[in-house]
Amino acid sequence: MPRPQTKIQTSLAVRPRTEPASDTRTRGSAAQGPSLAGLEQLVGYVIRRAQVAIFEDFNERMAEFGITTTTFTVLRLTRDNPGLNQRSLATALGAETSRMVLIIDELERRGILSRLASTLDRRARAIYLTSEGRKLLKTLEKRVAVHERMFSKRLRGDDKKELLRMLRNLATPV
C-alpha cells in the first residue's frame, strides 16, 4: 500500500517572531508579519517560494498514491523512453545514480516498473513500465493536468509560455 507523502518543509517558511520587533521600519509588525526586506525581488527566493507552493499542491494531490514529483518524472521518462537505464534516468533528472537506484527499487517493489537485462549491454538493466505502471500513470497524468491548470490560471495570456522560456534560460548553462 502506498505511503502518504508529507508536506514539504522549507527553511524559507516565514515563522512568527516570539519577541516584539523594536524597529518596524526594518521589521514587520506582529499584525503584518515580518518584512521580507527586498527578498521578493530576488529571482532565487521567488522561484523557491513558487516551487514550494507547486510541490505542496502536487504532493497533496499524489499523497494517496505515494508519488512525488521525482517518481512521477521517472514514470513519464520511462514511458516515453522505454528501456532506459538508471544512469540515463539519473542524468535526465540531474540526480545521483545511487538515489535513482533507491527510487527504481521502490517502484519495482510496488510493481510499477520492471528491470530487464539490456539487449545492448548485459551489465545494464533496461527499465520499463509494467501494465500496472501504465494504468497508474494515466491516473496521475489526469491529476497533474488539474494541478497544471490551477497554477496556469494564475498567469495571464502568454505568461506561461514566456515563464517556461525564461526558466529554461535560467536552467541552461552559459
CB 111 within 8 A of CB 130: yes
pLDDT digits (tens, 9 = 90+) for 38-97: 888 888 999 999 999 999 999 999 999 999 999 999 999 999 999 998 889 999 998 898
Query: Helical H runs in 126-158?
Result: 131-152
Whose cell is 523557491? That residue is 48
Take residue 30 and report the three cell numbers written for it.
Answer: 506582529
Take residue 65 and report the three cell numbers written for it.
Answer: 498514491
Whose cell is 505502471? That residue is 133
> Is residue 45 within a helix (H) or strand (E), and if so which, with residue range?
helix 43-62
**With bands split at pLDDT 50, 70 and 90, how would you rate the model's confidence at 28?**
low
Q: What is the pTM of this model?
A: 0.74
Domain range annotation of the chain: 42-169
CATH of domain 42-169: 1.10.10.10
